Structure 1
Amino acid sequence: MSFITRTPRAQGTIEASSTQTRASKLALAVGFVAFWVAVIAAYNAPATAYELSIYAATPDQFWAGIATAVVLGLLVAWFVAPENSLRSLAIALVVGSILAVAALPIIRGYFFLGAGDSLTHLGWMKDIATGVLNPLDFLYPGIHTSTVFIERVTGMSLERATQFLVLAYLLVYVTFVGLTVQLIAKTKYALLFGLLSGLLVLPINNISVHLMAHPSTEGIFFLPLVLYATFRYLTKPAKPFRIWRLPITPSAIVLALVLTAILLIHPQVTGNVILIFGSISFMQLAFRQLRSEHPLSQHRALFGHTIYLITIFLLWAPRNPRTTNTIDTLTNAILYGASSGSAIAQRGSTLTELGGSLPELFFKLFLISLVFGILSAMIMLLSLGRKFAGEYPVGDAIVKYITLSMVPLFGMFLLFSILQGSTQRFRYIGFVMVLLTILGAVMLSWGFDWLSQRTTGTRVLRAGVVIAFVFMLPLSTMTIFSSPFIYQPTQQVTEATFNGYETAFEYQDPSIPFTGIHSGPSRYVHAIYGSPFTNEEEIVPGAKAEVPNAGFAVGNLTTYYSSDRYIIYSDSTEQRELDLYEGLRYPAAGFAALETTPRIDQVHSNGEVRVYLLHPNTAPNVTENSTVTT
Structure 2
Amino acid sequence: MYRDTIEETADSQPMNRSALDWLFAAGFLALAAGIALARNDPATTYESSVYTGTPTAVWIAFALALAIAVSASLVCYGRQQAIGIGLGATTVTAIVSLPVIRGYYFYGMGDALSHLGWTRDIVEGEMGAHELFYPAVHSLGSIFYFLGGIPIERGLLFALVVTFVPFLIFVPLTVRDLSGNALAVGVAAIVSWMVLPINNVATHMGVHTNSNALFVVPVVVFAVVAYLRRRATIERFPLGLSPFSVLVYVSAITLLLVHPQQMVNAVVFVAAVSGVQYLVHRRYADHPMLEQPTLHTQTLVLGTIFGAWAVTNQRFRDAVEGFVTGIFAADVGGSAEIDQQGTSLTEIGGSLAELFVTMFFDAALIGLAVGLFLLLAVIGRTRLDAEGRSLVTYFTVALVPLGGMFLLYFLGTPNMAFRQMGFIYVVLTILAGVAIAHGIGGLSRFVSRPGASAVAAVVLGSCLVLGLMTVYASPIIYSPGQHVPEATFNGYETGMDRGADDTPYAGIGYDPYRLDHGINGLEGEESLTAGTAASGELDPETFNEGNYSGAYNDADHYLVISSFDETREFDVYQGLRYEETAYRGLEYDPYADRVISNDDFRMYAIAGGDDE
Question: Given the two structures, how large is their TM-score scaled by the length of structure 2?
Answer: 0.93
Moved more, 191-200 or 556-565: 556-565
Q: Which amino acid aligns with 1:435?
A: V
Secondary structure of the corresponding residue to residue 555 of structure 1: coil
Q: Which residue of 2 aligns with 1:280?
A: 273
Residue 444, structure 1, aligned to residue 436, structure 2 = yes
2:475 to 459, 484, 498: 484
Compute the displacement of 1:439 (Å).
1.3
Structure number with larger C-alpha Rg: 1
- Judge conservation of contact 1:517–1:547 (CA < 8 Å) in 2: yes
Compute the displacement of 1:307 (Å).
0.6
Q: Which residue of 2 aligns with 1:99?
A: 93
- Judge conservation of contact 1:182–1:194 (CA < 8 Å) in 2: no
Secondary structure of the corresponding residue to residue 368 of structure 1: helix
Q: Which residue of 1 aligns with 2:151?
A: 157
Compute the displacement of 1:332 (Å).
2.5
Secondary structure of the corresponding residue to residue 613 of structure 1: strand
Distance 2:106 2:264 in 1: 30
Residue 195, structure 1, aligned to residue 195, structure 2 = no
Q: Deviations over 1:168-192 (max 9, x none)?
A: 2221111111111111121122221
Compute the displacement of 1:534 (Å).
4.6
Residue 360, structure 1, aligned to residue 349, structure 2 = no
- Judge conservation of contact 2:325–2:412 (CA < 8 Å) in 1: no
Distance 2:21 2:403 in 1: 47
Q: Which residue of 2 aligns with 1:565?
A: 557
Q: Deviations over 1:255-301 (max 9, x none)?
A: 11111111111111111112112211111000001013110121101
Secondary structure of the corresponding residue to residue 423 of structure 1: helix
Q: Which residue of 1 aligns with 2:176?
A: 182
- Judge conservation of contact 2:31–2:91 (CA < 8 Å) in 1: yes
Q: Give the number of equivalent residue pairs.
A: 601
1:82 to 77, 81, 85: 77
1:309 to 302, 313, 317: 302
Residue 62, structure 1, aligned to residue 53, structure 2 = no
Q: Which residue of 1 aligns with 2:531?
A: 540
Secondary structure of the corresponding residue to residue 205 of structure 1: coil
Secondary structure of the corresponding residue to residue 563 of structure 1: coil
1:427 to 419, 435, 442: 419
Q: Which residue of 2 aligns with 1:53?
A: 49
Moved more, 559-568 or 296-305: 559-568
Q: Which residue of 2 aligns with 1:625?
A: none
Distance 1:48 1:292 in 2: 68
Residue 475, structure 1, aligned to residue 466, structure 2 = yes
Distance 1:65 1:400 in 2: 41
Question: Given the two structures, how large is their TM-score scaled by the length of structure 1?
Answer: 0.91
Q: Which runs of 5+ in 1 are unaligned?
A: 1-12, 621-630
Moved more, 295-304 or 462-471: 462-471
Compute the displacement of 1:226 (Å).
0.3
Compute the displacement of 1:103 (Å).
1.2
1:291 to 258, 277, 284: 284
2:29 to 28, 33, 43: 33
Distance 2:550 2:131 in 1: 46
Q: Deviations over 1:105-143 (max 9, x none)?
A: 111110111011100011111112222222222211111
Distance 1:250 1:20 in 2: 39
1:233 to 205, 208, 227: 227
Secondary structure of the corresponding residue to residue 510 of structure 2: coil
Secondary structure of the corresponding residue to residue 512 of structure 1: coil
Secondary structure of the corresponding residue to residue 515 of structure 1: strand
- Judge conservation of contact 2:496–2:529 (CA < 8 Å) in 1: no
Compute the displacement of 1:371 (Å).
1.2
Q: Which amino acid aligns with 2:472?
A: F
- Judge conservation of contact 2:516–2:528 (CA < 8 Å) in 1: no
1:549 to 526, 533, 540: 540
- Judge conservation of contact 1:563–1:619 (CA < 8 Å) in 2: no
Q: Which residue of 2 aligns with 1:611?
A: 603
- Judge conservation of contact 1:520–1:543 (CA < 8 Å) in 2: no
Q: Which runs of 5+ in 2 are unaligned?
A: 1-9
Secondary structure of the corresponding residue to residue 415 of structure 2: coil
- Judge conservation of contact 1:185–1:445 (CA < 8 Å) in 2: no
Q: Which amino acid aligns with 2:558?
A: Y
Residue 268, structure 1, aligned to residue 261, structure 2 = yes
Compute the displacement of 1:532 (Å).
4.1
Name the % identity.
32
1:42 to 38, 41, 44: 38
Moved more, 360-369 or 463-472: 463-472
Residue 462, structure 1, aligned to residue 453, structure 2 = yes
Compute the displacement of 1:559 (Å).
4.4
Distance 2:302 2:291 in 1: 22
1:587 to 579, 582, 586: 579
- Judge conservation of contact 1:187–1:446 (CA < 8 Å) in 2: no
Distance 1:308 1:240 in 2: 23
Distance 1:536 1:589 in 2: 36
Compute the displacement of 1:343 (Å).
3.1
Compute the displacement of 1:569 (Å).
1.2
2:594 to 582, 598, 602: 602
Q: Deviations over 1:130-168 (max 9, x none)?
A: 222222222111111122112222211121111122112
Compute the displacement of 1:566 (Å).
0.8
Secondary structure of the corresponding residue to residue 540 of structure 1: helix
Q: Which residue of 2 aligns with 1:415?
A: 408
Q: Which amino acid aligns with 1:355?
A: G
Distance 1:277 1:26 in 2: 44
Secondary structure of the corresponding residue to residue 566 of structure 1: strand
- Judge conservation of contact 1:504–1:611 (CA < 8 Å) in 2: yes
| RMSD of aligned alpha carbons | 2.2
- Judge conservation of contact 2:34–2:59 (CA < 8 Å) in 1: yes
Q: Deviations over 1:82-102 (max 9, x none)?
A: 24x443333222222222211
